[in-house]
Structure 1
Amino acid sequence: MKGDRLRFALLPFTAPWVPEAGAAGPSGTQAGTAMALVIAVLLVLMAGLALHREQRRREAVEEALTASNIQQQALIDTMVDAVIIIDETGTIQNFNPAAEAMFGYTASEMVGRNIRLLMPEPHRSAHDGYLARHRETGARNVLGRRSEVEALRRDGSRFPVELAVTDMRIHGRRLFSGLLRDITERRKVERLKDEFIATVSHELRTPLTAIRGSLGLVNGGAAGELPAQPAALIRLAHDNSERLLQLIDDLLDVERLGSGRMEFHFAPLALMPLIEEAIAGNAALAEKHAVPCRITRTLGDARVHGDPQRLLQVLGNLLSNACKFSPRGSTVEIEVTRRGDRVRIAIRDHGPGIAEALRPHLFSRFAQGDTGNTRQSGGTGLGLYISKAIVERHGGEIGFTPATGGGTTFYLELAALGTMPGPVQIPALMTRSNAIGQGSRKERKTYEQQ
């Protein structure tokens, strides 16, 4: 059938040269012309067929893309969380119904406008700078992780949101997709919980301080020498009252961190005397566990800008952990070195190391391993969480690495004096604020006298 149709299509070109019966055949020129026309027609037909197939393929691809876009948009529109998509200049490309309900704007009002409109000052004015630095340096401040930031509704009210941002390329354009969740209620619950903990802790601390003081006096012989068995019981009660006070102090610090009421007093500091003071303050615990602390590498001229009491709190926590988790007879080694414009303090223990499953959560609240040694050593699981917040308030970094030959090395890095003018203020719109601010001096004095 196809051959018949082709012959029928070519008939007009071949008929003039088909010889009649008894007539002479076409000349060589006529035959060549006919062949050329046949070939040309075949090429035109083949090209047309190819173009038709390409057109159908493109239509199929466009239909598939349209269907995919419809599905994606339907998914975005039905999400409970707000979704906002912006380009590299911060111009909004997509604003789903959940975002409309959250911010009080319609999509038609927001598409084509800058995302700055949803940010409170001073971050609204600084946002273009954030994007420019990202384009120039590739710094991924919020990309690929969750953070808690502050947003601005149409009525001017501020509210906290949890934000997750990812980047993508569509048709050569770079876009940023933000997933936002209103965490106002979560914050209220957390605040109530922290207030409850703080109230209970304050109420417990005053009588417990009196109990500890009384037990300390009896243990020290103020009531005369005690028989061996009662003396042992008094020592046990005194040690446990110390542990309870430490727990209460940690809980109070956590509440102050969360409410922004932990006070800091920054000043230029010589670092080596501060480390020696921390070692001296930890001497009793080191002697109890038979694990002395020794400085193996010093940096005599090291100076930082910090709060001495808060840094002593961090160093004391790291040293006490190292002593508690090291075997008897071993040594906790402290090294102080310079790394570029920072000073690094490394504290190495010779303990069993940190379980792999615990490492990602080590600086979280109440992070503790389940080993027998951990339970025997006690602790609240709050010390490292508090230490991390204090170090970050100094613009520094705290972390750990497995030590060569066993054990763990904890380190903290602080800007050397002259490289940082003062404490770091973390932008509320770029990362979750640790909520560590300036509290009243009267409040701290009252707390320290309790």
Structure 2
Amino acid sequence: MQEAGRTIAQAADEDALFHALINTAIDGIVVINEQGIVQVFSPACERLFGYAPEEVLDCNINMLMPEPYRSQHDAYLARYLETQIPHIIGIGREVVGQRRDGTTFPMYLSVGEGMLKGSRIFVGIINDMSETRARDNRIRELQGELLHVTRMTLMGEMASALAHELNQPLTALLNYTGAARHMTGHLGEPAAKLAEVLDRIAEQAERAGLIIRRLRNFIEKRESIRAPEDINKAVEEAVELGLAGMRGGDIKRRLGLEPGLPALLIDKVQIQQILVNLIRNAVEATSGLPRGAVTITTHKNGDAVEIAVADTGTGIPAEVESRLFHPFVTTKAHGMGMGLSICRKIAEAHGGRLWLAANSEEGATFILRLPVPAPEPAP
């Protein structure tokens, strides 16, 4: 009698231990019989799948699987019972689970086989892989972004070398033009038109040289240098640089620069980087469209100066607007999506803002707001 009592007590202790393990396990635990009917559904499984125990117990385990696995599971189980050839039992692998709301998630499933009260059971231990997969996906995204940045760095180095190489033949062109102009000086009236053409060649060569010098300053790696700058002059230079090499001959360019604006304490090259990016985007957006126009304006608004770049182009798709300033988001077929993200960071580093404003008509308007430096206190 005492022996029987000890056996009952031992069984009760083992049952309590079993339930304690099931109820406290971090990973989900589910137990099924040979027919695939759920016998145990742990609290962790409740959290993973969103089902209450009474909704799952005595039901087929395939309710936790998406198609086509749901329809195939009974056949898999029957084949194992017949052949004893395991495909997952004792091995474990990554599979897909389906929650009560129909959403799916990746999980690692380890399945073991045992006997309980003379009947065969299968114990599944489920580890949610959602965070691991999200982390892996983010790593892949970062690797892709790193490749983009690497290519952009290489492009900058190539552009700097190209600007240096082009500057030499342009200098030679200016010298040869000056010599030709001098040689035509004694030819009298017949050479007047030739002299005019040579003057135009020299003028365009000087302009090309200026653009190249600005380009080299623009892409040169250097520390940020802030100084009081005439913002209207900086805008005019940015327009010239931004339109260089662009195919926008039919696009109207409008400048509306408010006179008498206060000097701004800025890194001119960085601010011009923002403006060049906005201007080139605007030209590309309006290229090939009838009545295309790009308008650049400046005006003082409170304690800041606002520069607006507006176009009559195709506009920004609604689904892109909320992510427009995120890295690697672009509306261009071959764009890299870094420009606006970097531009916003530059603006914020200057204590300013860059945003997409609502457009009353077609196209898009970007506004760059830069603070006016506070006046120095009188001595």
Q: Shorter-chain-normalised TM-score: which range?
A: 0.3 to 0.5
TM-score normalised by length of structure 1: 0.37
Q: Which has the higher contact order (CA 8 A, sep 6+)?
A: 1
TM-score normalised by length of structure 2: 0.42
